[in-house]
Amino acid sequence: MASQRYYPTFRLDYNLSDRNRVSFAYNYQKFTDAPDTLNNQEASFPGFPVAAGQTSIRLGWSGSVRTTVTNNIVNEARLGYSGAPVSLLRRIQQGHVHRQRREPAGFSLRFPTINSALTSPDRRPRRSRCNANTLLVEDTVTWLKGRHSVSLGGSFTQYDVWAKNQTLVPSMNFDMVTNDPATALFNAANFPGASATNVTAAGRLYALLTGRVSSITGNARLNESTGQYEYSASASSVAACGRLADTCRTPSACLPLSR
């Protein structure tokens, strides 16, 4: 595991003149981890290529100008910014999934929960980037009159958030579905003394060992030219989905894939 941490920071105060003073403070924190154990993105098993790292940055700075206008009037202007750009799963590549599966379709195989969660062969092959930043601008005028003080001013704050997410290959989920003829095998009569939870677990284990696909999930995007949704995946994955559709017209009711 490789981890890097950087924490540079500094502050500057400078008197431009007897009546003007500027200040500036800067804080920067950068975190880099490969693999990203914080979000459980290490390889599922030794030697598997699907793993991912992350890079996170925490950035903030502020500046101010303080001006003594007269003996009893002071003006202070401030400008501040903060941001936190994050890049998650940045090292996952589509080829890693292809290589791990040893076939061109490149599905991410998702194992069912059999009483307890099973470790799937790989982490979910998706990447994401996001940032939330804040901009602050404000100005305050303070007037001293005898024993009284009056402050007037204004403040402007802007918040921006953006996120970009990408699923590299579709996920193939293994489980029993209601209209699978094999579901009739898993009942209390065939498993005397077993609890309902264990009967369900037995069905899911059977589905996993026999390659029963319950669903294939992925991303779709809206084509601005045609106004139609298009499945976003590699050409080989789309072709594989087509072959699956020929075998099983309703993906949610899939029987075992042909070998």
Q: Give DSSP secondary structure letters for 11-57.
A: EEEEESSSSEEEEEEEEEEEEEEES-TTTT-S-SSTT-S----EEEE
Asked if 158 and 249 sit in the same domain, the reply is no
Dihedrals phi, psi of 56, to nearest 5 degrees: -125, 140
Answer yes or no: is pLDDT of 73 > 60: yes
**Contact between residue 106 and residue 169 where contact means Cβ atoms under 8 Å apart:** yes
Domain boundary among 117, 137, 166: 166
**Contact between residue 220 and residue 232 where contact means Cβ atoms under 8 Å apart:** yes
**Whether the predicted model's global pTM rises above the 0.75 cut:** no
User: Out of 4-13, 39-48, 51-60, 176-185, which region has the weakest mean confidence (pLDDT)?
Assistant: 39-48
Q: What are 191's two structure tokens?
A: 């498993």
Answer yes or no: is pLDDT of 69 > 80: yes
- Count how many domains the chain has: 2
Calculate the average pLDDT of the chain: 79
Residue 116 domain-assigned?
no
Residue 120 domain-assigned?
no
Asked if 233 and 143 sit in the same domain, the reply is no
User: Residue 27: its pLDDT value, please?
Assistant: 95
Q: What contacts 189, CB < 8 A, 6 or more positions away?
A: none
User: Residue 164: its pLDDT value, please?
Assistant: 83
Asked if 221 and 148 sit in the same domain, the reply is no
Asked if 86 and 188 sit in the same domain, the reply is no
Domain boundary among 141, 166, 191: 166
Structural element, H or E, at residue 204: helix 196-209
Give the Cα-Cα-Cα angle 127, 32, 108 (nearest 5 degrees). Answer: 25
Asked if 42 and 74 sit in the same domain, the reply is yes
Asked if 159 and 180 sit in the same domain, the reply is no
Q: What contacts 94, CB < 8 A, 6 or more positions away?
A: 106, 125, 168, 169, 234
Residue 131 domain-assigned?
yes
Asked if 58 and 139 sit in the same domain, the reply is yes
Q: What is the 3-state secondary structure of 220-251?
A: EEECCCCCCEEEECCHHHHHHHHHHHHHCCCH
Asked if 159 and 183 sit in the same domain, the reply is no
Q: How far apart are CA 104 and CA 56, in angstroms?
A: 33
Give the Cα-Cα-Cα angle 129, 99, 48 (nearest 5 degrees). Answer: 75
| Bond prior to 35 in cis (omega within 30° of 0) | yes
Domain housing 84:
2-93+127-166
Average pLDDT on 107-128 reads 80
Asked if 73 and 37 sit in the same domain, the reply is yes
Asked if 70 and 154 sit in the same domain, the reply is yes
User: Residue 166: its pLDDT value, please?
Assistant: 75
Asked if 184 and 139 sit in the same domain, the reply is no
Asked if 47 and 136 sit in the same domain, the reply is yes
